[in-house]
């Protein structure tokens, strides 16, 4: 509603207020406790502690929670009874356009907009033409087709190969993938590629002729936007080498992080843009990102942290975390094999893990409740342990270790489907929810905590059970789970599988803050899957995790000693 109010206010040409509402909406969104709970516990003062929420907006929120509606919102909607959220989702449509469309054509919805465009009514409006009409139709078609964002793992490799092709163009100094992909967000809306070169025109022309470009949306001197054949949007930006650092900083975002940096620059009497950091006309930094941050009085901030959620304050105090590195994992604690629903044998998985540079893996096949996967009962699990013992003898000289594990199923009431005396014989016992996804919060939370209280369960795998774009997370009191993890010495898993990625970045951050240990696992179901660990590491970094927080970044002996 706050976002909607921002648009409705902007439609009236009101200055600044829209930005305030927008900021407040961002503040509310970044809470992971419902505002209702915040209000209930701390009243208006607690609401005002949310970033961007002051007296006025706190009163609006309280009004909504108490009376179910906001007077001012209703008044705005009365003036413009338009579905602004729906219309704003169309690329190229903004508040001013919505206002004209409403006043002249009575457009309220996406369907109205499409009708107006198809029947050629839009081209006659002031400051509109045939091209604007076509652009609107294209925007609607794209909205319907793409429906939004894709997982990082489904697009990163393709973007890297695009970047490699661009790197081979003559005259290119440097190429980088920027934007949310460089920040390693779990989902990506579009691909941003930055190039440094003196030969802008030539680079742009070559880029436009690449085979994966489907449609050109705009192309100017330094900035080009295309739609790719895979359906995604891609922006190319070409800057001179002297501006590389400033441009990379700007193009990486996030927007909120950039705005905060620019405000710091202003306070120092400087101006920050994508060409550099300037005092008057004189550039004081810009060739590298490091010098831009330094000139602003900040420690270098890793891209994964640039969300304006405290990293700038930490950088000012030189208190940023020493993030876990992309090469720091020594083992993988969730691996499936052909004993259940994996594709490959234990031995093959071990060889693949070695090739990926790992020193150990835990074999964690499903247990009997997952009958369709051939889940193991106690007998089968003991048999598998025997095979692992035999393989370990074989791998001894290679300095590689296979750990005995399982992905034990958590029942509806939190009970486990493998007996304690067998669990006791495992090196690593993980447990996970695979059914009853719809239980109410308190039941769901109690069930997971009961599993954690088992003296043998070391790790909770994919805690919330979500599948990005397919299945929502189970309703869990994550803070209660984190507290229980601390109390019981249970590890929480960061699952690296691209459409799982739970626990997600903000949960990682809360777990780390609470002193709970984490593992980063590939959830490999095939020898190819060890490459996925990168995405889990990314999520952990976005959650401010350090090497010391991640148990499988430790040597195997130390890790085993830590487990229950």
Asked whether position 516 contacts DNA by CB under 7 A, the answer is no
Rg (CA), the chain: 26
315-316-318-324 Cα dihedral, nearest 10 degrees:
-10
Asked whether position 97 contacts DNA by CB under 7 A, the answer is yes
Asked whether position 24 contacts DNA by CB under 7 A, the answer is yes
Tokens 């002031």, residue located: 126
Asked whether position 414 contacts DNA by CB under 7 A, the answer is no
Among the residue ranges 91-99, 318-326, 484-492, 535-543, the one whose residues contact DNA (CB under 7 A)? 91-99
State both tokens at 109. Answer: 């919805």
Query: 88 or 210: whose CB is closer to DNA?
Result: 88
Asked whether position 259 contacts DNA by CB under 7 A, the answer is yes
Q: 419: cis peptide before it, omega within 30°? A: no
Binding-residue total with DNA (CB under 7 A): 63
Query: 146 or 369: whose CB is closer to DNA?
Result: 146
Gap between the Cα atoms of 428 and 35, Å rounded:
39
Site string for DNA, 437-456 (x = CB under 7 A): --------------------
Instruction: Give, in order, the Cα–Cα distances in Å from 540 to each of 182, 212, 323, 501.
Output: 15, 32, 8, 10
Asked whether position 242 contacts DNA by CB under 7 A, the answer is no
Strand partners, 428: 405
Binding residue for DNA (CB under 7 A) from 41, 45, 68, 127? 127
Asked whether position 253 contacts DNA by CB under 7 A, the answer is yes
Say how far residue 530 (Cα) sits from the centre of its chain.
Answer: 20
Binding residue for DNA (CB under 7 A) from 123, 287, 351, 486? 123
Query: 51 or 105: whose CB is closer to DNA?
Result: 51
User: Closest separation between CB of residue 45 and DNA, Å?
Assistant: 12
Q: Provide the residue count of the chain.
A: 564
Asked whether position 112 contacts DNA by CB under 7 A, the answer is no
List the one residue out of 182, 143, 183 whose CA is nearest residue 159. Answer: 182
Asked whether position 23 contacts DNA by CB under 7 A, the answer is yes
Asked whether position 129 contacts DNA by CB under 7 A, the answer is yes
Asked whether position 96 contacts DNA by CB under 7 A, the answer is yes
Query: 98 or 335: whose CB is closer to DNA?
Result: 98
What is the distance between the terminal CA atoms of the chain, rounded to a whole angstrom? 47
User: Closest separation between CB of residue 224 and DNA, Å?
Assistant: 7
Gap between the Cα atoms of 315 and 232, Å rounded:
34
User: Closest separation between CB of residue 53 and DNA, Å?
Assistant: 5
Q: 503: cis peptide before it, omega within 30°? A: yes
Binding residue for DNA (CB under 7 A) from 8, 20, 172, 188? 20
Q: Is 313 helix (H, G, I), strand (E, B) or coil?
A: helix
421-424-429-435 Cα dihedral, nearest 10 degrees:
20
Binding residue for DNA (CB under 7 A) from 29, 32, 130, 453? 130
Query: 95 or 430: whose CB is closer to DNA?
Result: 95
Query: 88 or 480: whose CB is closer to DNA?
Result: 88
Binding residue for DNA (CB under 7 A) from 144, 255, 441, 528? 255
Asked whether position 412 contacts DNA by CB under 7 A, the answer is no
Burial (Cβ within 10 Å: 0-12, 13-18, ≥19) of residue 233: middle
Say how far residue 185 (Cα) sits from the centre of its chain.
Answer: 3
Q: Is 311 helix (H, G, I), strand (E, B) or coil?
A: helix
SS3 content of the chain, % helix, strand, coil (to 5): 50, 15, 35
Query: 136 or 459: whose CB is closer to DNA?
Result: 136
Asked whether position 240 contacts DNA by CB under 7 A, the answer is no
Any idea what DSSP says for residue 426?
-
Asked whether position 92 contacts DNA by CB under 7 A, the answer is yes
> Does residue 454 contact residue 416 with C-beta atoms inside 8 Å?
yes
| DSSP H or E run through 277 | strand 276-279
User: Closest separation between CB of residue 534 and DNA, Å?
Assistant: 23
Asked whether position 53 contacts DNA by CB under 7 A, the answer is yes
Question: Binders of DNA among 198-237, rule CB under 7 A?
Answer: 218-224, 233, 235
Binding footprint of DNA on the chain (CB under 7 A): 15-17, 19-21, 23-24, 48, 51-58, 88, 90-98, 123, 126-133, 135, 179, 190, 192, 218-224, 233, 235, 253, 255, 258-259, 262-263, 265-267, 271-275
């Amino acid at each position: 509603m706050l976002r909607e109010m921002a648009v409705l206010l902007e439609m009236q040409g009101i200055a600044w207020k829209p930005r305030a509402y927008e900021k407040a909406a961002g503040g509310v969104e970044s809470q992971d406790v419902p505002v209702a709970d915040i209000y209930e516990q701390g009243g208006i003062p607690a609401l005002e502690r949310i970033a961007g929420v002051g007296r006025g907006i706190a009163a609006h929120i309280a009004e909504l929670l108490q009376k179910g509606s906001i007077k001012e919102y209703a008044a705005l909607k009365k003036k413009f009874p338009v579905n602004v959220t729906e219309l704003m989702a169309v690329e190229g449509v903004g508040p001013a356009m919505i206002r004209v469309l409403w006043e002249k054509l009575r457009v309220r919805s996406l369907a109205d907009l499409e009708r107006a465009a198809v029947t050629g009514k839009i081209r006659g409006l002031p400051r509109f033409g045939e091209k604007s009409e076509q652009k609107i139709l294209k925007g609607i078609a794209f909205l319907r087709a793409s429906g939004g964002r894709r997982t990082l793992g489904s697009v990163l490799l393709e973007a890297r190969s695009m970047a490699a092709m661009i790197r081979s163009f003559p005259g290119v100094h440097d190429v980088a993938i920027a934007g949310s992909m460089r920040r390693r967000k779990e989902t990506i809306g579009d691909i941003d590629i930055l190039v440094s070169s003196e030969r802008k025109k030539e680079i742009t022309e070559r880029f436009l002729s690449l085979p994966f470009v489907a449609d050109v949306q705009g192309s100017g001197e330094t900035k080009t936007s295309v739609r790719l054949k895979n359906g995604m949007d891609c922006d190319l930006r070409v800057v001179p080498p002297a501006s590389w650092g400033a441009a990379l900083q700007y193009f990486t975002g996030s927007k909120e992080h950039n705005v905060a940096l620019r405000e710091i620059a202003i306070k120092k009497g400087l101006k920050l843009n994508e060409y550099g950091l300037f005092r008057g006309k004189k550039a004081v930094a810009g060739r590298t990102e490091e010098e831009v941050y330094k000139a602003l009085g900040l420690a270098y901030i890793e891209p994964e942290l640039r969300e304006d959620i405290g990293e700038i304050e930490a950088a000012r105090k030189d208190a940023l975390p020493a993030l876990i590195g992309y090469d720091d994992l020594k083992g993988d604690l969730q691996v499936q094999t052909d004993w259940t629903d994996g594709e490959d044998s234990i031995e093959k998985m071990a060889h693949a893990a070695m090739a990926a540079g790992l020193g150990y893996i835990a074999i964690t096949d499903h247990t009997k409740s997952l009958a369709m996967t051939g889940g193991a009962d106690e007998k089968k699990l003991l048999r598998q342990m025997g095979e692992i013992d035999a393989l370990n003898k074989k791998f001894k000289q290679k300095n590689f270790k296979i750990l005995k594990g399982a992905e034990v199923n958590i029942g509806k009431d939190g009970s486990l489907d493998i007996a304690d005396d067998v669990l006791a014989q495992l090196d690593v016992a993980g447990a996970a929810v695979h059914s009853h996804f719809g239980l109410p919060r308190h039941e769901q939370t109690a069930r997971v905590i009961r599993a954690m209280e088992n003296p043998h369960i070391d790790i909770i795998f994919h805690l919330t059970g979500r599948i990005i774009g397919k299945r929502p997370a189970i309703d869990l009191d994550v803070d209660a789970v984190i507290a229980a993890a601390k109390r019981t010495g249970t590890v929480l898993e960061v699952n690296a599988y691209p459409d799982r990625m739970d626990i997600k970045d903000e949960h990682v951050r809360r777990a780390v803050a609470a002193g709970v240990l984490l593992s980063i696992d590939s959830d490999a179901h095939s020898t190819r899957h060890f490459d996925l660990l990168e995405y889990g590491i990314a999520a952990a970094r976005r959650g401010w995790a350090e090497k010391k927080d991640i148990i499988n970044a430790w040597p195997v002996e130390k890790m085993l000693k830590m487990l229950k």
